[in-house]
Structure 1
Amino acid sequence: MIHRAVRVVLVTFLGLISGQIALSDEDPLVVFAAASTTEAVSAAAEVFTSQTGIKVVISFASSSSLAKQIEHGAPAGVHISANPAWMQYLEERGLLASGSQRLVAANQLVLATSSENPPETGSDVAETLFIALGDDDRLAVGDPAHVPAGLYARQMLEALGLWAELEPRLARAADVRGALALVERGEAPVGIVYLTDLSVSERVTVLELVPADLHEPILYPAAVVAAGDRPEARAFLEFLVGPMGRQAFTDNGFLPPP
């Protein structure tokens, strides 16, 4: 009798999962992810789909833009942010599934410059900045008003006592990949981006690593969106924090979360 009950439960469970997977082609899991995670999350989603049959559609943008879209009802199931503050913004508004937040990765800031003709470095990050910028060149950053990489860049410049001097010379991009593009195109001799961003461009290289004590820790939280809370979303979140999900991030230069 017990064995029969177990078989019934197992068959019922498999039937439910099969039904979810069958529906996934018509109703894919929508993931909103920070622009800096493009390669890592794409790789993770590909493995997840191959293992589960659940189709994943990903929208990449700045964490602030994605948070605002979720606030206005965009149909996301999972959100991956490059900044805990924007995830907290959603949490405070009741837009995340309760208790679903998990840390999936960490990152590091760098000064990035052209790989063809990199400027000299100084004795510290502040001197290197001034050598690279000269008298009137601009510094490429994600917009510090809302882009996480820009927020960290502002913290760094404030810690160095350079914010007031360099703020008028910022070339503000809509996200961190936009800041990287400004350096790629030669519109700015140096930019403040994530270390992981440099893996997508052969035209940009590390000028100098930014000391981690100049800004808050760069952490990537992920969570299930309340309006899109369903088994597929929770399964993908668990996949991200599991061994294969972690591997997708480390393979693309991310650090493990604390």
Structure 2
Amino acid sequence: MIRRLLAAVTFLAVAFDASAQSANRTVIVSAAVSLTDVLQQLAPIYQTQTGERVLLNLGSSNTLARQISFGAGPDVFISADEAQMNAVAMRIDAASRVDLLSNQLAIAVPDDRPRTMKSARDLLDPAIKRIAIGDPAAVPAGVYAKQYLEMLGIWRDLSAKAVPSGSVRLALSAVESGAADAAIVYQTDIATATHAREALVIPAAQGPRIVYPAARVLAGPNPDGARRLLAFLRSPEATAVFTRAGFLAPVPARR
């Protein structure tokens, strides 16, 4: 794992160094993989408006945070939870940090075995033998999934069925390939799937508080570009794109 991480950081360092030579033309963004499709839509819009290219480094938030901790220097980091942003608190510009988005958990099932669930308790059905989730020890989607199942009091009963994945998209892929009977992912992920269907959406008010914080990384080669991109991501135009993709406005902290 460490060897792979160091290799990734070395690769990224080369990419970041290359972009530093054209810092006024490129903004490097390390972002949660659940944002893949929507950021790929927004990147060309931003480039048209500013002339700056957006280079996306997409992955599980915990992996991206480790890359930053090991010295990788993207301009912007967008995490799928607060914990991974907090883990690199000393490496970001705290004043730039914003809660950008929220999301909802949902249960996906294979499209050739569609079913509708009334609640997540339906996962207790003996016919459902494997449930793919992000690794609950590290991957934000898995952390959220475990929190929700604990809220319902069924995590202990379901944990033996849980198949931890390295990212939320890998959990979804397990359902699409038939390797899992169900997956707990984000609702926005199911919208991108070709071989999975939505069995249940967990309303934001009932599930754990999901937050996507974004911030400028201090080691990034293009601080001005980072500020411009963060402002763009909060603009009405970008908000409309996020909304069409199913993302929600940031949810205030619960008291």
What TM-score range do you get, normalising by the shorter chain? 0.7 to 0.9
The number of equivalent residue pairs is: 231
CA 1:253/1:181 → structure 2, altered by over 3 Å: closer, same or farther? same
Aligned-residue RMSD, C-alpha: 2.0
| Alignment-derived partner of residue 119 in structure 1 | 115
The one-letter code sitting in structure 2 at the alignment partner of 1:165 is D
Matches within 5 A, 1:10-49: 23-24=22-23, 28-49=26-47
| Alignment-derived partner of residue 151 in structure 2 | 159
Q: Give the superposition deviation at 1:61.
A: 0.3
The one-letter code sitting in structure 1 at the alignment partner of 2:234 is V
Aligned partners of 1:29 and 1:57 also within 8 Å: yes
**Structure number with larger C-alpha Rg:** 1
Aligned partners of 1:62 and 1:175 also within 8 Å: yes
Does the residue aligned with 1:218 lie in a helix, a strand or coil? coil
Q: Give the superposition deviation at 1:59.
A: 0.6
C-alpha distance in 2, partners of 1:244/1:104?
A: 14
C-alpha distance in 2, partners of 1:163/1:125?
A: 10
**Does residue 239 in structure 1 map to residue 237 in structure 2?**
no
In structure 2, stretches of 5+ residues that fail to align are: 1-20
**Does residue 102 in structure 1 map to residue 101 in structure 2?**
no
CA 1:53/1:140 → structure 2, altered by over 3 Å: closer, same or farther? same
TM superposition score normalised by structure 2? 0.85
Matches within 5 A, 1:76-87: 76-87=74-85
The one-letter code sitting in structure 2 at the alignment partner of 1:125 is A
TM superposition score normalised by structure 1? 0.84
The one-letter code sitting in structure 2 at the alignment partner of 1:184 is E
1:24-78: per-residue Cα shift (whole Å, max 9, x none)?
47x6221000000001112121110111111111011001100110111112000
Aligned partners of 1:102 and 1:241 also within 8 Å: no
C-alpha distance in 1, partners of 2:33/2:67?
A: 15
The percentage of aligned residue pairs carrying the same residue is 37
1:141-193: per-residue Cα shift (whole Å, max 9, x none)?
01101000000010011112122222122111110000000000011111000
Aligned partners of 1:41 and 1:248 also within 8 Å: no
In structure 1, stretches of 5+ residues that fail to align are: 1-21
